Structure 1
Amino acid sequence: MDHTEFNDRVSNLSEGTYAGLPIAFAPEKDDDEELPAAGEAAWRLSVETYDAEESFEEQFTRFTAKVDTTAVKAIIIGSWEDAYEDGSSTIVRLLTDNAGRFPALRSLFLGAMEGEECEISWIQQSDVTPLLEAFPLLERLEVRGGSGLELRPVRHGNLRILRFESGGLPAGVVRAVGGCDLPALEYLELWLGVEQYGGDATVADLAGILSGERLPALRHLGLQDSEIQDEIAAAVAAAPIVARLESLSLSMGSLTDTGAEALLSGQPLTHLGRLDLHHHYLSDVLVERVRKALPEAEIDLSDQEDIRNDWRYVAVSE
Structure 2
Amino acid sequence: MNDLGACMTLPWRLFPPLGEEGPDDPAPSDAGTVAWRLHYNSLLYSVKEDGYDAYLARFMESVDTTRVRELVFGCCGEPSYTGPDEAVELLIKEAARFPALRAVAFGDISYEDAELSWTSLCDVTPLLRAFPALEVLEVRGGDDLALGPVRHESLQALRIETGGLPGEVVRTVGDCDLPALEHLELWLGVAEYGGDATVADLAPILSGERLPALRYLGLRNGEIQDEVAAAVAAAPVVARLETLSLGLGVLTDEGAEALLSGQPLTHLKKLDLHHHFIGEEMMQRLRAALPGVEVDLSGREEPDPGDEWWSPYVAAAE
Shift of 1:29: 3.7
Shift of 1:174: 0.7
| Aligned match of 1:4 | none
Shift of 1:20: 2.4
Aligned-partner SS, 2:117: coil
The aligned amino acid for 1:38 is A
- Quick check: 2:246–2:272 contact (8 Å CA) kept in 1? yes
The aligned amino acid for 1:317 is A
Rounded Cα–Cα distance in structure 1 between residues aligned with 2:234 and 2:128 = 31
2:39 corresponds to 1:43: no
Rounded Cα–Cα distance in structure 2 between residues aligned with 1:227 and 1:26 = 37
1:273 to 266, 269, 286: 269
Provide closer, same or farther for how the CA distance between residues 266 and 307 of structure 1 changes in structure 2, counting only shifts above 3 A: farther
| Aligned match of 1:19 | 8
Provide closer, same or farther for how the CA distance between residues 41 and 275 of structure 1 changes in structure 2, counting only shifts above 3 A: same
Rounded Cα–Cα distance in structure 1 between residues aligned with 2:191 and 2:269 = 32
1:219 to 188, 210, 215: 215
- Quick check: 2:181–2:213 contact (8 Å CA) kept in 1? yes
Deviations 1:142-166 (A, max 9, x none): 0001311000110000011110011
| Aligned match of 1:61 | 57
2:90 to 76, 94, 105: 94
Rounded Cα–Cα distance in structure 1 between residues aligned with 2:16 and 2:314 = 38
Deviations 1:67-114 (A, max 9, x none): 110010000101111231233222211111111110000011111111
Rounded Cα–Cα distance in structure 2 between residues aligned with 1:188 and 1:50 = 34
| Aligned match of 1:246 | 242
Q: Which moved further from structure 2: 212-221 or 118-127?
A: 118-127
Aligned-partner SS, 2:163: coil
| Aligned match of 2:313 | 313
Rounded Cα–Cα distance in structure 1 between residues aligned with 2:169 and 2:27 = 38
- Quick check: 2:16–2:39 contact (8 Å CA) kept in 1? no
| Aligned match of 1:264 | 260
Calculate the TM-score normalised by the size of structure 2: 0.91
Shift of 1:224: 0.3
Shift of 1:11: 7.5
- Quick check: 2:230–2:259 contact (8 Å CA) kept in 1? yes
Rounded Cα–Cα distance in structure 2 between residues aligned with 1:64 and 1:125 = 22
Shift of 1:277: 0.4
Provide closer, same or farther for how the CA distance between residues 284 and 43 of structure 1 changes in structure 2, counting only shifts above 3 A: same
| Aligned match of 2:206 | 210
Provide closer, same or farther for how the CA distance between residues 12 and 252 of structure 1 changes in structure 2, counting only shifts above 3 A: same
Calculate the TM-score normalised by the size of structure 1: 0.91
Shift of 1:12: 6.7
- Quick check: 2:7–2:136 contact (8 Å CA) kept in 1? no
Rounded Cα–Cα distance in structure 2 between residues aligned with 1:165 and 1:113 = 12
2:170 corresponds to 1:170: no
- Quick check: 2:31–2:63 contact (8 Å CA) kept in 1? yes
Total equivalences in the alignment: 306
Q: Which moved further from structure 2: 284-293 or 19-28?
A: 19-28
Where structure 2 has 5 or more consecutive residues not aligned to the other structure, the ranges are none
| Aligned match of 1:179 | 175
Rounded Cα–Cα distance in structure 2 between residues aligned with 1:285 and 1:307 = 16
TM superposition outliers: structure 1 runs of 4+ over 2 Å: 10-13, 17-20, 27-34, 49-56, 307-310
Aligned-partner SS, 1:46: strand
Shift of 1:126: 1.1
| Aligned match of 2:197 | 201
